[in-house]
Amino acid sequence: MPFSRFSFPRRLIVASLLLLLLIGSMFAAPLLTSADPVQIAVSKRLAGPSWAHPFGQDEFGRDRLARVLYGGQVSLTVAFLASFIAMAIGTFIGLMGAYFRGLFEFIAMRVSDVVLFFPPILLALLVVTIFGPGVSTMVAVLALLYFPSFSRIAYSETLRVSALDFVEAARALGTKPRRIVVSTVLPNILGAISVQFSLTAAAAITVESGLSFLGLGVVPPAPSWGQMIRGARGFMEQDPLGIFVPCAALCVTIYAINLFCDRLRDVLDPKGMEDGKDSVSPAGRQTAAPAKLDTDSAAELRGLTLSLNRGKREAPAELVRDITLKLRRNQCTALVGESGSGKSLTSLALMGLLPSSIRPSAGHIAIERKSGAAVDLVSLAAKEAEKVRGDDIAMIFQEPMTSLNPVLRVGVQMVEALQAHRKVTPEEARNRCVAALDRVGIPEAEQRFDSYPHELSGGMRQRVMIAMALLCEPKLLIADEPTTALDVTIQAEIIDLLRDLRANQDSGLSMLFISHNLGIVADIADRVVVMYSGEIVEEGPAGDILSDPHHPYTRALLESMPSLHEEMHSSRGDRLGAIGGTPPLPQARPSGCAFRDRCPDAKDACAATHPGLYPSQDALRAVRCIFAPEASSFLKEACDEPCVA
Amino acid sequence: MPDSSELNFNPNRRAVLTGIGAGMTAMALPGRVWAADGETLRYGLSTFPPSLAPWNNTGASSNNVKLCLYRGLMGYDPEANLIPEVAESYEWPDPNTVVFKLRDNAVFHNGEPVTAEDVVHTFESIIAEDSSAYLKSSFLNIDKVEAVDAKTARFSLKQPSAIFLKELANYCAGLVWKGSSADDPVGCGPFTKSSEERGVFVEVTKFADFYSKGEPICDKIRFTAYADQNLRYAALETGDVDVIEYLPWPQFDAVEQSETLNIGATVSPFMLVLFNVAKDGPFKVPKVRQAVGYAIQRQDVIDAVFAGRGTQLTGFPNPPGSPYDVSDPTIEYSFDPEKAKRLLAEAGYPNGFSCRLLSTSTYGMHQDTAAIVQAYLQMIGINATLDLPDWATRVKKGKEGDYDIAVHGLSGFYNDPNALWPLLHSGPANYTKSFGFESARIDELLEKGRATMDEEERGAIYKDLAQAYFEEVPQVPINWRAQAHAMQKSVKGFKAFPGWLNTSSAFSFDVSEPS
Amino acid sequence: MIRFALNKGLAALLMLWIVGTIVFAVLFVVPGDPAELLLTSDGAVASQESVESLRRQMGLDKPLITQYLDFLAGAARFDFGQSLIDHVPVGKTIALRLPRTIELILAGLFLGLITGIPAGTWAGLRPGRSFDRVVSAANAVLISVPGFVTGTLFIYLFAQVLRWLPAGGYVSFASDPLLHLKLLTLPAITVGLHLFSIIFRMTRASVLEMRTHDWVRTAVAKGLRRKLVVRRHVVRNALGPIVTVVGLQMGILLGSTVLIEFIYNWPGLSGYLVTAVQQRDYPSVRAVILVVSALFILINFMVEMLYSVLDPRIRL
């Protein structure tokens, strides 16, 4: 939760200012107008705007500006006070109910339910008739109306939080329940509660005006917006301004509060607004030169640079820089690197699945279709790209738990993949999908076809993903860390499966295998490409690279796994153990070599030049380091002068 | 004694959005949507009649419908003159006895002739011990009702009564067939109830054997309830109904200027201030109450609350159309804050005081009048806090004296000062009179006025009453307010009765026709 | 499943008993006397004897505990007694009026769904674009203008000025189908606008969240057409939360269409309830609350069922 390190978020500035301005102007009413909101002047009733009365006068001749400002004080005070009380009571009830369960839970939740059963208007009617109308009754009614929603939210949030590791841990350590609730659970549910608070405050303002309108609210002559609307409704035709002014005030205030809580929600839970993973929004068109391919290539990237658009004020950040990569036909190329090295983005660029904020700023992409034509999915029209994806090129993802739609049966999701590219009868589709499931080693494929994803284990789901990817026999399969989320024993099985499938697909299958785990790479890859901070730092045949790495980073990667087999057991450690630090942010790369901050062998010279990717004599491998053997000849040629000091 | 007109209850909780209008053009039709068929008079009620029990007063809407179904011995002609109704004639053999001769052709809706036995049954039921009839206390003045013969009934009164005939003309004194069950009273009015949908409408159909030949003129009257006054007016304007009651005040101008609509307006109920004089406090002192009378700028109430439709009421609320002139400038209030302050000082409150002002939020005009009264009381140093509960609570608080000062609206049902009896005469507390107010002088004048048959003598008595009203201050009057029916210009025969008879306007349904 | 239903049923009975008891108790704390009110409507003055005898006729002179037990025994047999005001059996009135309120809500719901879900989806797929900004801002405007204002405005515009529709009222469908639909139009739109704002917001938020899920990317990677991805992998998944919110709203609306019924003279259940409270018609108030609560429980139950159909991970 961001509360511990709360600095004022930029997104909230406009909304907060607007809200403050509104509240401020209402409470500064005496400064803004000298008129008395209850002073009647019947002879001037319904008078239009004048210098003395900018919003005109109401049906009693009272100054409308003063009434709308002072009325705002009443409306806002009631709304916020009621929301606060509702929040306090509701949160307490929900918290207690969820944390202590048992009888507490039963009573707490039933109390809330009973309140919900009463039609709100009746609740208001009854409370007001018993206690008489007025501000305090109003606050009580609104608090009563709204505490159940707080208790429901607090309840479900607490249930969620209580199951989290650190709460369990605190409980195991014998911390007193009260302490756990106050210091551990409460801070974690505050986010949801505070959003609900702002929503409630907005709703309370409308309800307050509604109740006042009914005469169940604020007692006249004290102004409130509801009272103003009530009074003006009868004269709507003669004097539209009378109804417009309070409605507009209500409207602006509610807009401000809504804006504030939308922004607050974004800040507390940025997932919703993040554009990063969105794959549905249509991408902007990009023109690119017609793609061409070498004869032995399944796909190629030439000088590809991917930039993140960071708005008008900041320069775009280059997430991936000048990548040239050739995926040879019927070979498996492994793309290796830490998180954030750009390897996943590179693969998404191949699929044409880049988030809309990331665009190629230079270079070309080309994928070979079954027809032999070459296409670039990033710049291809959406309709055309749909034809290529899943048919010519397929992809499996890292998290089998979330990569399948949880509410659709496995079979449905497979059949739609097939039907997207082949005209098949439902029966035929079913048979082919069951056969595909069978091929990836799923027992009782016939039954599994009708299962929901949550009924399958992680390994099974990844097998389903693989079966689904290969349904249309694509020429190129991209596997983005397909084993990372799986158990160690399952990992090996999946790798074996992929290897077998590649060997057995008659039409031939090229593969781009992405991993941070060199141990797995050794089992499957023909070629290895190592990426660091958006650049390729070393590439070459798998055997050569793994046995004799030339780049310090590749060496560090290898060293950080004690032995190939042990590495399998720490599958999730995608940080470098052998060297400290983290990769630099794209906008803050050091001058010269990007790796030099963390490099054990770094010298002064590393800061001076940005190293190129130096190919070896036989052109089979290349490395981006000025101290690598491949670099020596280049540097001598290019730099006879003492440029490397 | 209707006092509703404007049920301002607009329940709402959730705010609602505007916007979409698409698809509606498809349903659009020009002109009238609810076509009039020429035979049916469509009447917009202010509320659905809670009950049609013949002798209970359950509001003006009920009374309109009841006058279609039931008629009593006395009634009003379309010009609002008191006439024998089911009775053909009457005579007073002595001041304590009145004998009615019934119409030969009067029959109940079930075909049974109206006989003196039915008259006896009706009035014995009204004054029976378990009766909840509106006029029970008035008719307790009846010593005996006898059937002299089949068509002659004789009433013996305990005391002479100048207003007995007017009471018999009330909408709560309809004759009911003696063989009726309690749940299904059979009347002899011009219409029978033909269909009804609770909460929506009541429809009555012409009774072919009605005793007045050629009446009623229209075949049916359909009473539809429109609780929201704005909607009621909208329904009239769009032609959904022919006549509406309680036209909202802001719409008077529009109707008067309209080429298709007519207005039937009269000044009828009056707004007033009541006091709790049982409590030890400032309002126990008549001078303080008088001060309130001088503190209020009455025209402001009329302008702001009733859109200018009303007249100032500065003295005794002698009903409009009353036969007696009791006006006298020396016993009338004026707007004179200085005098009000002086009176307060004389009463020992030179610096004013604080109190609670009771009214109701159920009726907008009560609430708004209270707001203005409060503003003017403020100016003479009386700090009133408004207490605006719903109507039910208002009635209870009024009856129990749970207030200091109250703003209220009232009317009677006939144009005679005696109609003020329940508001001024001591007796059990009710919410329409100042709590705890008792005056032997006023009681005596009221009693004398009722028992006196001589018109001139009565005029003098009520002049004295007006004097007592000003001096003893049982209440402070504010203004008469206008009350109007609005109708299509094509409607013939319907007449809004003047003054306090306004709620008996349904007598003119006999000669009304929609076009 | 059967166990679930049984548990729910028992809990529902308990809840209804609690609700009924609370209403019963509260009504006797609320000031005002139905007998006196009936006889003093419109400012009439009733004598004390009249009021007392009417109280006796209404059965209000019986001891409170007797009245309470009578009420419970009646409710158990679905007999809610007679209205104190007009002696019509309360059950009959509810049977007449409840369908009208439900019709109004369903018509509004229909309008809300067919506009709210597409608009919410469109806005959720393109957050921050002009459509999203315009509709979201308009939503804030609309939500702030109270229903009694929009209602009055609609009547003025469509009935008084344009004369397209009647000002308000009700006729049964059987007696005049076309007029029935015309009379339904404006109130249904008013309810629909309210639901639109809620459904729009919920759909937008839900789509915004759903579209970032991995399975959406999978669907795109499979080469599915965009429309299919949106419909089957975004909107379909977003339905769960929408159903929950709509269900809750339906329950709340059951007792809260008062304003709309009042403005348009639509003789539904809410109006009956409010009139009953004003008249202190105890049997009617109690019965309406019980019926509304029972429906509320039923709707919640149906929402849970529907949710488990929409999301197979939820098992009942």
| B229 → chain A, closest CA residue | A234
pTM over 0.90: no
pLDDT of residue B123: 96
pLDDT of residue A7: 59
Average pLDDT over residues A589-616: 83
- What are chain A's partners, defined as 3 or more CB pairs within 8 angstroms? B, C
- CB contact (8 A) between residue B250 and residue A216: no
pLDDT of residue B68: 95
Identify all chain B residues contacting C275, using CB atoms and an 8 Å cutoff. 199
Lowest-confidence pick of B187-191, B239-243, C138-142: C138-142
Categorize the per-residue pLDDT at B440 as very low, low, confident or very high, splitting at 50, 70 and 90.
very high
A421 in contact with chain C, both atoms CB, cutoff 8 A: yes
What is the three-state SS of C136-184?
HHHHHHHHHCEHHHHHHHHHHHHHHHCCCCCCCCCCCCCCCHHHHHHHH
| C257 → chain B, closest CA residue | B12
- CB contact (8 A) between residue A116 and residue C296: yes
- CB contact (8 A) between residue B12 and residue C155: no
Domains and CATH numbers, chain A: 8-39+57-268 (1.10.3720.10), 409-473 (no CATH), 549-636 (no CATH)
pLDDT of residue B83: 94
The share of chain A scoring above pLDDT 90, in percent, equals 7
Q: Which of B6, B16, B261, B399 to mutate to test the interface with C (most CBs of C within 10 A)?
A: B16
- CB contact (8 A) between residue B299 and residue A42: yes
pLDDT of residue B407: 96
Categorize the per-residue pLDDT at A399 as very low, low, confident or very high, splitting at 50, 70 and 90.
confident
Domain spanning C91-315: CATH 3.40.605.10:
no
pLDDT of residue A635: 66
Distance (Å, whole) CA B502 – CA C252: 42
Distance (Å, whole) CA B327 – CA B275: 24
A 455-474 residues with CB < 8 A to C: 465, 468
pLDDT of residue B7: 37
Average pLDDT over residues B75-83: 93
- CB contact (8 A) between residue A130 and residue C212: no
pLDDT at A217 over 50: yes
Average pLDDT over residues B189-210: 92
| B24 → chain C, closest CA residue | C185
- CB contact (8 A) between residue C153 and residue B234: no
Pinpoint the alpha helices (H) of B238-336. 252-257, 286-295, 298-306
For A258-304, write each residue's pLDDT tens digit.
788 777 777 776 554 444 445 554 444 444 555 577 777 888 888 88
What is the three-state SS of B327-394?
CCHHHCCCCCHHHHHHHHHHCCCCCCEEEEEECCCCEHHHHHHHHHHHHHHHHCCEEEEEECCCHHHH
pLDDT of residue B18: 27
Identify all chain B residues contacting C194, using CB atoms and an 8 Å cutoff. 14-17
| C309 → chain A, closest CA residue | A407
Strands A297-308 and A358-368: antiparallel
Extract the residue ranges of chain C whose pLDDT is less than 70: 1, 42-43, 144, 255, 314-316
pLDDT of residue A279: 54
Lowest-confidence pick of A14-28, A216-230, B231-245: A216-230
Closest by Cα among A36, A221, A223, C34 to B388: A221
Mean pLDDT of chain A: 80
pLDDT of residue B228: 84
Of A114, A251, A413, the CB nearest to C19: A114
Strands A358-368 and A527-532: unpaired
Average pLDDT over residues B31-36: 41
pLDDT at A575 over 60: no
| C142 → chain B, closest CA residue | B17
Residue A359: half-sphere exposure toward Cβ, Cα within 13 Å: 14
Q: What is the DSSP letter of B37?
A: -
For A27-80, write each residue's pLDDT tens digit.
888 888 888 888 888 888 888 888 888 888 888 889 999 999 999 998 889 989
Residue A46: half-sphere exposure toward Cβ, Cα within 13 Å: 18
Identify all chain C residues contacting B173, using CB atoms and an 8 Å cutoff. none
pLDDT at A511 over 80: yes
Closest by Cα among A19, A25, A21, A145 to A73: A25
The share of chain B scoring above pLDDT 90, in percent, equals 70
Give the torsion sign (CA, B208, B209, B211, B214).
positive
For C93-142, write each residue's pLDDT tens digit.
999 899 999 999 999 999 999 999 999 999 888 887 889 888 888 887 77
Portions of chain C given CATH number 1.10.3720.10: 91-315
Going edge to edge, which strands form the sheet with B87-94?
Answer: B87-94, B97-102, B152-157, B142-149
For B307-348, write each residue's pLDDT tens digit.
899 999 999 999 988 889 998 999 999 999 999 999 999 999
- CB contact (8 A) between residue C259 and residue B129: no
B 474-513 residues with CB < 8 A to C: none
B 1-30 residues with CB < 8 A to C: 1-4, 9-21, 24-25, 27-30
A128 in contact with chain B, both atoms CB, cutoff 8 A: yes
| A61 → chain B, closest CA residue | B304
Identify all chain A residues contacting B375, using CB atoms and an 8 Å cutoff. 38-40, 60, 221
B432 in contact with chain C, both atoms CB, cutoff 8 A: yes
Residue A389 · residue A377 · CB < 8 Å: yes
Distance (Å, whole) CA B201 – CA B39: 17
Among all chains, which residue has been given the structure tokens 């010519």? Answer: A392
pLDDT of residue A86: 94
In degrees, rounded to 5, the angle at the alpha carbon of residue A240 between the alpha carbons of residues A236 and A244 is: 110
pLDDT of residue C128: 78
What SS3 class is residue A622? strand
Categorize the per-residue pLDDT at B26 as very low, low, confident or very high, splitting at 50, 70 and 90.
very low
Q: Which residues of A284-315 are buried (b: 16+ CB within 10 A; e: fewer)?
A: eeeeeeebebeeebbbbbbebbbbbbeeeeee
Of A120, A277, A386, the CB nearest to C223: A386
Of A42, A211, A219, the CB nearest to B303: A42
Identify all chain B residues contacting A121, using CB atoms and an 8 Å cutoff. 11-13
Identify all chain B residues contacting C85, using CB atoms and an 8 Å cutoff. 50-51
Among all chains, which residue has been given the structure tokens 């004296």? Answer: B401
For A117-143, write each residue's pLDDT tens digit.
777 777 887 888 888 788 888 899 899
In degrees, rounded to 5, the angle at the alpha carbon of residue C112 between the alpha carbons of residues C110 and C118 is: 105
Residue C249 structure tokens: 């709203």
Which H helix or E strand runs over B272? strand B261-275
Residue B492 · residue B311 · CB < 8 Å: no
For B392-405, write each residue's pLDDT tens digit.
889 889 989 999 99
ipTM: 0.82
* CA A270 to chain centroid: 6
